[in-house]
Amino acid sequence: MAFVVIGNYVSPYVRKVLVCMELKGLAYEIDPIAPFVGDEAFERLSPLRRIPVLLHDGRTFNDSSVICQYLEDTHPAPALYPADPADRARARWLEEYADTALADALIRRLFYQKAIRPHVFGEERDEAVIGEAIGQHIPRALDYLETQLPAEGFLFGALSIADIAIACMFRTAAFVRFSIDATRWPRSAAFVERVLALEPFRKLAQLEDATLRQPLAEQRAALAAIGAPLTADTFGTSAPRHGLPRM
């Protein structure tokens, strides 16, 4: 059975899964919904109403880290987790850091306020939250990453899940015009640029850009027009609703 991914191209967590699938050469279809428009059937698959969800071989898998590990276990080449146990543990930690602390700063505090609240829910941005993100939370995260990231290449020689997870967060933050100050965080800026230049990221960027230019209700048609591998049916609804604030 082919893989089915439920989740919007703009989400950093969906992107992480799709990059892994692209690198492993796995064919898939996608239902590119945002978590805000999932119907009751979607909620039965994802009780936290979060994306991505992976459907494969009659089974449902939730959470991007769980999904990526499943893909690695079932399709181990090319390896996206280091072979050395200590390196593998560190890769998992950096993936977790990206998915939590970095996502809190870049996605939940910045992207959500600047993009989701006004354009999906028609709500005013909370400028205080944005200010704290830019002034405190993002610099703190980048100060840490600057001590962890390599001056050249990738974290563990070959590309790993840690490289992918970190870059995914900055790609989504770029949609609200955030960029890393290369004079203050040169390693981080160069690292993210290197990873995002890889073919899977560039391929997905075309679909992401098409998504961004359309309201939620029109995104599926826009993606179909440029040949996205869409599912025949969707779990999406017409009206957005608030859920747990994680993309």
Give the chain's domains with CATH numbers. 3-79+203-225 (3.40.30.10), 85-196 (1.20.1050.10)
Assign 3 to helix, strand or coil: strand
Is there a contact between 139 and 199 (Cβ–Cβ < 8 Å)? Answer: no
Nearest-angstrom CA–CA distance, 137 and 106? 8
Per-residue model confidence (pLDDT) at position 196: 98
pLDDT digits (tens, 9 = 90+) for 59-84: 999 999 999 999 999 999 999 999 99
Per-residue model confidence (pLDDT) at position 36: 80
Region 121-150: mean pLDDT is 96
Confidence of residue 216 (pLDDT cuts 50, 70, 90): confident
Single-letter code of the amino acid located at 66: V
Nearest-angstrom CA–CA distance, 168 and 176? 14
pLDDT digits (tens, 9 = 90+) for 145-160: 999 999 999 999 999 9
Query: How long, in residues, is the chain?
Result: 247
Nearest-angstrom CA–CA distance, 67 and 122? 32
Tokens 């390196």 belong to: 87
Helix, strand, coil percentages (3-state) for the chain, rounded to 5, are 55, 10, 35
Q: What is the dihedral of CA 225, 227, 229, 231, to 10 degrees?
A: 30
pTM: 0.95
Assign 21 to helix, strand or coil: helix
